[in-house]
Amino acid sequence: MSVFGRNRLTTVVLLIPVFSFLFLGRAKGQTQWAEALIERKIDSLLALMTLEEKLGQLNQLAARGDWVAGEKGITEEQKQMVRRGEVGSFLNATGAKTLKEIQRIAVEESRLKIPLIFAYDVIHGFRTIFPIPLGEAATWNPELIEKASRVAAIEASAAGLHWTFAPMVDIARDPRWGRIAEGAGEDPYLGSTMSAARVRGFQGEGLGKVGTLLACAKHFAAYGGAEAGRDYNTVDISERTLRTIYLPPFKAAVDAGVGSFMSAFNEIAGMPSTASAFLFTKVLRDEWKFTGIVVSDWTAVMELTRHGVAATQGEAGVLALRAGVDIDMESKIYVTDLPHLVRQGKLSIDVVDRAVRRVLRMKYRLGLFDDPYRFNDPDREKAVTLTADHRALARTVGAQSLVLLKNENRILPLSKNLKTIAVLGPLATSKRDPIGSWGAVGRAEEVVTVLEGVRNKVASGTKILHAAGCSIDSLDRRGFEEARRLAEQSDVVLIVIGESHRMSGEASSRTHIGLPGVQEEFVREIAKTGKPMVVVLMNGRPLTMPWVYENVPAILVTWFAGTEAGNAIADVLFGDVTPGGKLPVTFPRSLGQVPIYYNHKNTGRPASDQDFFTSKYLDSPVTPQFPFGYGLSYTKFVYSDLKVGTEKIRSTDSLRVSVRVKNDGDGKGDEVVQLYIQDLVASVTRPVKELRRFRRITLNPGEIKTVEFTLGYDDLAFYNQEMKFVVEPGTFKVFVGGNSVDVLEKTFEVVER
Ligand code: GLC
């Protein structure tokens, strides 16, 4: 008799592992089975494709059709290219109806009916515009920024888009660089948390789900390290600086599941990013196991000839494709120059097939072969765009992004029942500037200005006076007198000054980062009235305005706060929201200090007033105007009882750190508790501080909260002389506080295993 007949219980027990394998194995197996099926489909498609059709999949064009009823299409010539299978994706086309028609041409009128991917720069909102990313970073609230990215994905995907060229995760330490506005500032850890939050927000529950966008980590890599802060300029940094400062936010994007990367325009130490096999094969695919697609930046493939690493466009295309850049944005080199180089044996068809397979695999993952119109829904587009909820979220993000730099004599918050308020300055009524750079399809007419926000906030009996006083960047002073007259009549003066949205963003670096035009003179003129004055700053970067910082009692940094800017700013000015934002980037005293950042090295001669021969200036303190992580509240937070779980740990142990934070004021408020470490002695020099944890908390008046963090191996590790990522035994400091300077500190030891 078989074992199965002897004892029914035995039979059941024996079958459990079988069933469990089938069940568990089946679930995992199902995914592997589905992936294997996709690979077989790709195999069969590749076998049918001509060389031109294969390279067509690697060709991305910018839509050059007209804007019609708020939608952007493609030209007749571009439609013909689609019919011939010479385009794999478009950028800048938008609108559910328009994209549906373009996709129809691809899937009905081309030979192989391969669907297109539609991409757009949805950087900080699509139609509902959120603060610029530097402002979003100033919230130090990744969960909130994830929600903002979700909203952007919902609106953009309803307009038929599949792919956003965001998040931009370039670390920036030089405020002359215009694209500092577009990232999360100077710190790798803050940048990494924002990068992961945005990827999660854009990609949602998974690629191909309705309401999601394929995200794109850009610009790989070190684009923000441009010499002299001049956009597109040379980057010459060590591999240790590259891996310690610039790569972490990209790795965080990969860990969050980002589906695409974009190359950068710049070179790094002699090798242009777009031709760098070190970046796109060794680091991205071999080390990080990235399985998505890589797109070049705009004509960056062609620009390899200008960098001087390729003599012809064809050579440039070969370099880029071999390096691992799968899609050529706008150069048209892959589709034009590479066919005959493949036929001449100068480029292996395997390199082409590798890239085509990645692109087709992404189209399957996006569900476009199942339903090419999946994302397209004109009715949903109307239903989900610029809704009241989306506006409300933009207002919340806007308010949380604001950073209070000064509030002497507690001028702020203002009473809503003031008799007369003067709202002055060239940006007080601006509708376009609060959208900032990369405003997608945001519409200026939908923006709430600062003047409108104040009007919405104050009591009906409050008189509001307005005059611009001057323009943003002209030298015309004729408006000063009228503005001063209004200030004389008011109880409080709000002056809305700063940059225009065009003064930051791509190709918008500045050699002076002070207030443009005669704005500082204007502020001095109004200050002569002696009226209580608040400067409301609109800026895409840190600005140097020492007289204003020294002499104006209240200063609120608003970056470019988006569609709901005026309401968000009024919420904070009048106390409905207590400011809790913190600087994601150091504010220098002068351009002469730049680059200046908090996580600097100690040097062999750290600045000292007691010793002339130390690292300092003759004409300026070495400290910044305002440090990284700085921001005030209307209430006051007191830190105490900083504790580390143990004085000694092995490198593989984790370490608990706790601190008590008390709201010692009379109003509810948010505080960003920041934890930094310092490795005092190591085999290579280490920064004096490195941000490793933070948490934005809300405390009621008198409330005390114990905030706990846990540090692990990766928080203490660094790249040693052999470029190995290691933790070395020795003494560490841990610092905790509300910015990178005013901190409590403790030490602990890492001992040999
Ligand atoms: C631009 C930018 C890049 C953007 C791309 C498409 O030049 O560098 O960030 O995604 O072109 O607009």
> Which CATH number characterizes residue 671's domain?
2.60.40.10
Quick check: 231 and 508 in contact, CB under 8 A? yes
Does ligand 1 lie within 6 Å of residue 330's CB atom? Answer: no
Q: Are 601 and 684 in contact (CB under 8 A)?
A: no
**Phi and psi at residue 391, to the nearest 5°:** -60, -40
- Based on the domain organization, do 431 and 519 belong to the same domain? yes
- Alpha-carbon distance of 574 to 552, in angstroms, equals 18
Per-residue pLDDT at 26: 61
Can you give the pLDDT at residue 253?
98
Q: Of 593, 626, 650, which residue constitutes the final position of a domain?
A: 593
CB of 466 within 6 A of ligand 1: the answer is no
Distance 514 CA to ligand 1 centre (A): 27
Q: Residues 665, 636: contact at Cβ < 8 Å? A: yes
Residue 55, token pair as written in the block? 């390279």
Same domain, 453 and 520: yes
Task: Check pLDDT > 80 for residue 740.
Answer: yes
Q: Which helix (H) or strand (E) holds 163?
A: strand 163-164
**Quick one: 417 and 551 in the same domain?**
yes
Q: What is the pLDDT of residue 32?
A: 85
Six token digits for residue 702: 């008198």
pLDDT digits (tens, 9 = 90+) for 312-324: 999 999 999 999 9
Instruction: Give the pLDDT of residue 17.
Output: 47
For residue 77, pLDDT beyond 60: yes
The alpha carbon of 675 and the centre of ligand 1 are apart by a number of angstroms equal to: 34
| Mean pLDDT value of segment 507-518 | 98
**Best probe residue, ligand 1, of 61, 64, 298 (max atoms within 8 Å of C-beta):** 298
374 in a structural domain: no
Q: How far is the CA of 498 from the centre of ligand 1 (A)?
A: 25
Question: For a pocket test of ligand 1, which of 506, 508, 509 has the largest count of ligand atoms closer than 8 A to its C-beta?
Answer: 506
At residue 376 the predicted structure's pLDDT band, cuts being 50, 70 and 90, is confident
Ligand 1 in reach of 91 Cβ (< 6 A): yes
Interval between CA 222 and ligand 1 midpoint (Å): 15
Together in a domain, 554 and 642: no
Average pLDDT score, the chain? 95
Which residue, by CA, sits nearest to atom 1 of ligand 1? Answer: 298
Which domain range does residue 664 map to? 637-751
pLDDT one-digit tens code per residue, 263-294? 999 999 999 999 999 999 999 999 999 999 99
Helical residues (DSSP H) of 25-161, grouped into ranges: 26-48, 51-57, 76-83, 96-109, 133-137, 142-158
The residue out of 568, 593, 618 marking a domain boundary is 593
pLDDT recorded at residue 2:
37
The verdict on residue 309 lying in a domain is: no
CA of 245 to the centre of ligand 1 (A): 22
Rounded Cα distance, 508 and 501, in Å: 10
Predicted local distance difference test score (pLDDT) of residue 25: 54
Question: What is the number of domains present in the chain?
Answer: 2
Are residue 647 and residue 557 in the same domain, yes or no?
A: no
Query: What is the predicted pLDDT for the residue at 374?
Result: 80
The CA distance from 280 to 325, in Å, is 7
Residue 21 has a pLDDT of: 47
Closest CA to 415 of 532, 321, 303, 542: 532
Tokens 């009715």 locate to 379
- Which of 463, 466, 456 is closest to 395 using CA atoms? 456
Q: Which is the catalytic residue, given 187, 297, 328, 571?
A: 297
Among protein residues, the one whose CA lies closest to atom 7 of ligand 1? 298
179 touches ligand 1 (CB under 6 Å): no
Question: Is the shortest distance between the CB of 165 and ligand 1 below 6 Å?
Answer: yes
As to burial, measured by CB atoms within 10 angstroms (0-12 exposed, 13-18 middle, 19+ buried), residue 410 is exposed
Ligand 1 pocket check for 447: Cβ under 6 Å: no
Confidence of residue 13 (pLDDT cuts 50, 70, 90): very low
- Confirm if 286 and 232 have CB atoms less than 8 A apart: no
Q: Please, are residues 375 and 158 in contact by the beta-carbon 8 Å criterion?
A: yes
Residues 429 and 559 in one domain: yes
So what's the pLDDT on residue 19? 52
* 522 part of a folded domain: yes
Query: Is residue 58 domain-resident?
Result: no
Beta bridge pairs of residue 679: 732
214 inside domain = no
Query: What is the pLDDT, as a whole number, of residue 8?
Result: 56
Q: What is the pLDDT of residues 85-101, one digit of tens each?
A: 999 999 999 999 999 99
The residue whose CA has the least distance to atom 11 of ligand 1 is 298
Query: Quick check: 718 and 244 in contact, CB under 8 A?
Result: yes
Is 297 an active-site residue? yes
**Stated length of the chain:** 753
Q: Is residue 606 part of a domain?
A: no
How does residue 752 score in pLDDT terms, banded at 50, 70 and 90?
confident
From 541, 564, 593, give the residue that closes a domain. 593
Backbone angles phi, psi at 231, to 5 degrees: -55, 145
For residue 475, what are the CA distances in angstroms to 470, 478, 500, 520?
A: 8, 9, 15, 11
Query: Is residue 67 pLDDT above 60, yes or no?
Result: yes
Same domain, 451 and 530: yes
Q: In the chain, pLDDT over 70 holds for what percent of residues? A: 96
Nearest Cα residue to atom 6 of ligand 1 = 298
The pair phi, psi for residue 571, each rounded to 5°, is -55, -40
Q: Is 447 exposed, middle or buried (0-12, 13-18, 19+ CB in 10 A)?
A: buried
**Gap from CA of 736 to ligand 1 centroid (Å):** 38
pLDDT in tens, 585-599: 999 999 999 999 999
Is the C-beta atom of 297 inside 6 A of ligand 1? Answer: yes
Helix ranges (DSSP H) in 373-504: 378-384, 388-401, 450-457, 480-488
Pocket lining: 506 vs ligand 1, CB cutoff 6 Å? yes
Q: What is the pTM of this model?
A: 0.95
On whether the CB atoms of residues 141 and 670 are closer than 8 A, the answer is no
Locate the DSSP E strands across 286-397: 293-295, 328-329
Q: What is the CATH number of the domain that holds 528?
A: 3.40.50.1700
> Ligand 1 within 6 A of 298 CB?
yes
Asked if 157 contacts 207 with a C-beta cutoff of 8 angstroms, the reply is no
CB 730 within 8 A of CB 682: yes
| Average pLDDT over every residue of 20-47 | 79
Tokens of 167: 């998040």
* Span 495-506, pLDDT tens digits: 999 999 999 999
Sorted by sequence, the CB contacts under 8 Å of residue 371 that are 6+ apart come out as none
Residues 589 and 647 in one domain: no
51 alpha carbon – ligand 1 mean position (Å): 28
Are residue 435 and residue 571 in the same domain, yes or no?
Answer: yes
Determine the distance separating the centroid of ligand 1 and the alpha carbon of 107, expressed in angstroms. 27
Which of 88, 85, 90 is closest to 75 using CA atoms?
Answer: 90
The confidence band for 15, taking pLDDT boundaries of 50, 70 and 90, is: low
pLDDT bracket for residue 4 (50, 70, 90): very low
- Residue 261 near ligand 1, beta carbon < 6 Å: no
User: Which of 22-36, 111-125, 136-150 bottoms out in mean pLDDT, i.e. has the lowest?
Assistant: 22-36
| pLDDT for residue 243 is more than 50 | yes
Q: Is the pLDDT of residue 557 over 50?
A: yes
Residue 390 lies in a domain: no
Cα gap 421→486, rounded to integer Å: 9
**Residue 65 included in any domain:** no
Cis ω on the peptide bond leading into residue 272 (within 30° of 0)?
Answer: no
121 in contact with ligand 1, CB cutoff 6 A: yes
Token couple for 566 = 């005026």
Which one of 61, 121, 213, 233 would you pick to mutate in the ligand 1 pocket, going by the greatest count of ligand atoms within 8 A of its CB? Answer: 121
Q: Is the pLDDT of residue 24 over 50?
A: no
Whether the Cβ atoms of residue 626 and residue 555 lie closer than 8 Å to each other: no
Q: Is the pLDDT of residue 561 over 90?
A: yes
Q: Is the CB of 709 under 6 A from ligand 1?
A: no
Residues 563 and 656 in one domain: no
- The H or E element containing residue 670 is strand 669-679
- Span 200-227, mean pLDDT? 96
Among residues 436, 425, 507, the alpha carbon closest in space to that of 466 is found at: 425
Whether 670 and 581 map to the same domain: the answer is: no
Same domain for 529 and 460: yes
Residue 183 Cα to ligand 1 middle (Å): 13
- The DSSP result for 186-205, as a single string, is S-HHHHHHHHHHHHHHHHTT
